[in-house]
Amino acid sequence: MADTKGARTSARLVESMLELIQTRGYSGTGLNTVVAHASAPKGSLYFHFPGGKEALGEKAVELAAERFRTIVAAEGTPGQVIRRVLDALARLLEEGDFQLGCPVSVVTLEMGAESDRLRAACADAFESWVAPLAVHLVAHGRADGEARSLATATVSMIEGAVIMSRAQRSVTPLRCAADALVPLLDGP
């Protein structure tokens, strides 16, 4: 995307939507709040996102997916990569006083049954995390089917650990997930 005033405004709106979903949930995030948080003119919201809140939510999910993919794409053994992912998530939770959650899981839980567009965006986001992890596992000697299954289970465990960590206001569930996943991913 070109670095224009419009592109910057659009990016601010998406970033604001993402941050607000993490702290307030999708349903608890109103468009007026997003516009104020982004310091954007109200008219720019519908100019950039004619589909309204649903379109903006979809872009926020895509941004969250891309950020997580960047972490998963790191070098090292699969266990080392997942340890870094879980350490990064633990830091995020602690620095955010356990107020920030995974926006993809939040949108899935709140809107998955109500909006096919948002459900599909969330499914794509999860797939964008599973697929590169499966490729990484294959590159480290796992068979395709086993790698896919293990990658899916890994992402599922990470999502559950984030939710439990928020509920307990402790990163212990993330640490336990790392302790279980690292040997499993780096095993035979």
CA triplet 159, 171, 60: central angle to 5 degrees? 40
Residue 97: DSSP 8-state:
T
CA distances (Å), 127 to each of 44, 67, 119, 133, in order?
A: 31, 14, 12, 10
CA triplet 148, 88, 71: central angle to 5 degrees? 45
| Residue corresponding to tokens 């599922």 | 156
The pLDDT score that the predictor gives to residue 181 is: 97
The CATH superfamily holding the domain 5-186 is: Tetracycline Repressor, domain 2 (1.10.357.10)
pLDDT at 140 over 70: yes
Residue 54 CB: number of other CB atoms within 10 A? 16
| Structural tokens at position 93 | 């939770």
| Structural tokens at position 137 | 């596992």
Max CA separation in the chain (angstroms): 56
Residue 2: pLDDT band with limits 50, 70, 90: low
Q: Contact, 66 vs 17, CB < 8 A?
A: no
Residue 187: pLDDT band with limits 50, 70, 90: confident
Residue 70: pLDDT band with limits 50, 70, 90: confident
Interval 19-67: pLDDT, tens: 999 889 999 999 999 999 999 988 889 899 999 999 999 999 999 998 8
Q: Contact, 98 vs 52, CB < 8 A?
A: no
pLDDT at 174 over 90: yes
The arithmetic mean of pLDDT across residues 158-163, rounded, is 95
The pLDDT score that the predictor gives to residue 42 is: 85
Domain ranges across the chain: 5-186
Residue 5: pLDDT band with limits 50, 70, 90: confident
Pairwise CA distance, residues 159 & 55, whole Å:
24
Interval 108-139: pLDDT, tens: 999 988 999 999 999 999 999 999 999 999 99
pLDDT at 106 over 80: yes
Q: Round the average pLDDT of the chain to a whole number and report it.
A: 92
What's the pTM value of the predicted model, to 2 decimals? 0.88
pLDDT at 73 over 80: no
